[in-house]
Structure 1
Amino acid sequence: MSIRSPLVPALLAAWLLGALPAHGGPVLERIRSEGTITLAHRNASVPFSYLDPQGQPVGYALDICKRLAQAVQQKLGLKTLTVAYLQVTPANRIEAVAQGQAQMECGSTTNNASRREQVAFTIPHYITGARLLVKADSPVDRIDHPQLKKVVSTRSTTPLAALRQAVRVRALPLTIVEADDHEQAVAMVEKGQADAFAMDDVLLYGLAAGRTDPKALKVVGQFLTTEPLAIMLPKDDEALKKIVDDEMRRLIYSGEILGIYSTWFEKPIPPNGSPLNLPVNYLLRDFWKYPTDKVPF
């Protein structure tokens, strides 16, 4: 004879609720009630997040975000989920997510300690480092080259902070100029208004590939930084973060993310149909063996 305790159903229900992502988080509840998820994107962070010739947001990070949005839709049991887009800049991207204007930022944002005070991040989708973009005929090949006098970097970025630190620590005789966005910085190098553009090397390769004459520019120098790039999320919804982290791990372990990567780094991409020819680097390949959102920066 078995005795059925009245506590068993309650305990079972509690366990089931604990095993599922909580639907009561503020961000998830807003997505559920509005039936819309907003993805923040950039205008010139090639190939992560940028505008194609038709003005549509495209890129590697955006393709990943679309997969993450599908996972949110499935977990919430929504028949449809509208994906809206919000263009942001390096200066306002963190504020856009922190203030709820977007639920994910799909670009080339570095996950670091100071930013984690305002927002959350998922597992990195790329690991890179800052180098220099110069004209193809420039003799400059390092940050301390004697002919390097003026360097531009994009406002509110980690490469800009690293550049300032290098100048201060090494007492380099450099003038640092801030650009509003990557496009402006590249144009300054092309016009001779700056000798070099300091930014994540993968972005520099992408920006150069998108110019009218890609061979007119080159990427040089050693890494000034190590940058784990990740999708940015609101800080106040652990349930949303769990869904996103779980889906990122699925994409990595299944190998699906490699197909997305190949599309944007190894095949022809807009606007010129030129491939970047950048296979997965060893830093990212090693990191994806044990994917985590915890980074030592």
Structure 2
Amino acid sequence: MKKSFSILLATLITACVASAGHAYAQSAVLDRVKSSGVLRVGVKTDYRPFGFLDPSGKVVGMEPDLAADIAKQMGVRLELVPVQTANRIEFLQQGRIDLMIATMSVNEQRRKVVGVIEPYYYAGGTALLVRKNAGIKKWEDLDGKPVCGTQGAYYNRSVAQKYGAKIVAFPGNVESQNALLTGSCIGFVQDSTLLGSILASGDSQWADFEMPLPIEDMALWAVAVPLEERDQAYGDLIKKTVTEWHRSGLLRSLEKKWGLPESEFLKEQQTKAKAQ
């Protein structure tokens, strides 16, 4: 299966270079990756288990594994570039990375500035991490209370507008978590996947915390390419790759590898991809 997929991608790249050079000439990213032999992928380093630093300082996680798969299929070396929620789109727009796999949820504003790839590769929703004795039983209990958030995350505005929370935004998730632990805010609003993985980590410092509220606003996550590349050869290659991740079960396999709960979204997407 993997061999046939490698042949498919190799054929696509060859076809892009052929055809009088027309399609390939429209993809500056493919040209750069081919000439340099390096694919630069922006990933998180503070979002366990999707992207984080292991004890040796190496960037690991589900999304670095996905990036490695793309680089391997393309026959180039992978360079992982650490990004945060606040700068990941800017890095892609500035050409500092060729591809973004960095827990980015999709909204109309982001569609206007980066090339959102479909099918989507994951999904998560808005959740809240608090101490068990915080007295937070419903979202409305956040009215007027300081809540830690991550700069650039869409969860912040939603929770502030709907429930009156006073968002204290930090550059990264690590800073937000530390602020929660030291009592600078009553809770940490973030994606349910991240908060769930924190609680499942077994780390004793989180033993007194919980996610007591229902998950809201389920959002789809997308790989992104530069906006101008979305409908060109490079965007088409990434679309085919993500489709194959679903069809082959790679995403579900990595989900299990990294200790994530089984996702209904991935089950549905695999069924859909196999039927195509």
TM-score range with shorter-chain normalisation?
0.7 to 0.9
How far off its partner does 1:279 sit?
Answer: 1.4
Unaligned runs of 5+ in 2: 1-14
Are residues 1:201 and 2:195 paired? Answer: no
Match of 2:110 in 1: 115
Q: Helix, strand or coil for the counterpart of 2:49?
A: coil
Decide whether aligned partners of structure 1 residues 287 and 113 sit closer, same or farther in structure 2, where only a CA change above 3 A counts: farther
Bigger share in helix: 2
Match of 1:154 in 2: 150
% of aligned pairs identical?
A: 21
Q: Supply the AA of the counterpart residue of 2:218.
A: T
Are residues 1:100 and 2:95 paired? Answer: yes
Q: Helix, strand or coil for the counterpart of 2:113?
A: coil
Are residues 1:264 and 2:241 paired? Answer: no
Q: Helix, strand or coil for the counterpart of 2:190?
A: strand
Q: Helix, strand or coil for the counterpart of 2:96?
A: coil
Decide whether aligned partners of structure 1 residues 166 and 26 sit closer, same or farther in structure 2, where only a CA change above 3 A counts: same
Cα distance in 2 for residues equivalent to 1:176 and 1:250: 39
Q: Which piece of structure 1 moves more, 216-225 or 45-54?
A: 216-225
Tell whether the 8 Å contact from 1:71 to 1:244 is kept in structure 2 after alignment: no
Are residues 1:131 and 2:127 paired? Answer: yes
Match of 2:138 in 1: 142
Q: Helix, strand or coil for the counterpart of 1:133?
A: strand
How far off its partner does 1:147 sit?
Answer: 8.3
How far off its partner does 1:131 sit?
Answer: 0.9
Tell whether the 8 Å contact from 1:61 to 1:107 is kept in structure 2 after alignment: yes
CA displacement 1:208-237 (0-9 Å, x = unmatched): 445443322211212232211122211222
Are residues 1:52 and 2:54 paired? Answer: yes
Decide whether aligned partners of structure 1 residues 144 and 71 sit closer, same or farther in structure 2, where only a CA change above 3 A counts: same
- Aligned with residue 220 of structure 2, among 218, 225, 228: 228
Cα distance in 2 for residues equivalent to 1:34 and 1:82: 9
Q: Supply the AA of the counterpart residue of 1:180.
A: P
Cα distance in 2 for residues equivalent to 1:155 and 1:137: 27
Decide whether aligned partners of structure 1 residues 146 and 95 sit closer, same or farther in structure 2, where only a CA change above 3 A counts: closer
Unaligned runs of 5+ in 1: 1-13, 74-80, 267-277, 292-297
How far off its partner does 1:17 sit?
Answer: 5.1
Decide whether aligned partners of structure 1 residues 15 and 155 sit closer, same or farther in structure 2, where only a CA change above 3 A counts: closer
Tell whether the 8 Å contact from 2:104 to 2:223 is kept in structure 1 after alignment: yes
Tell whether the 8 Å contact from 1:159 to 1:224 is kept in structure 2 after alignment: no
TM score, norm. by length of structure 1: 0.78
Are residues 1:70 and 2:72 paired? Answer: yes
Match of 2:10 in 1: none
Q: CA RMSD in A?
A: 2.5
Tell whether the 8 Å contact from 1:189 to 1:197 is kept in structure 2 after alignment: yes
Match of 1:41 in 2: 43
Decide whether aligned partners of structure 1 residues 286 and 70 sit closer, same or farther in structure 2, where only a CA change above 3 A counts: same
How far off its partner does 1:114 sit?
Answer: 0.6
CA displacement 1:134-177 (0-9 Å, x = unmatched): 0133321321127872211111111112223313xxxx3x3221
Q: Supply the AA of the counterpart residue of 2:121.
A: H
Cα distance in 2 for residues equivalent to 1:140 and 1:235: 41
- Aligned with residue 210 of structure 2, among 215, 218, 224: 218
How far off its partner does 1:265 sit?
Answer: 2.6
Cα distance in 2 for residues equivalent to 1:215 and 1:244: 40
Tell whether the 8 Å contact from 1:162 to 1:224 is kept in structure 2 after alignment: no
Cα distance in 2 for residues equivalent to 1:15 and 1:175: 50
Decide whether aligned partners of structure 1 residues 141 and 283 sit closer, same or farther in structure 2, where only a CA change above 3 A counts: farther
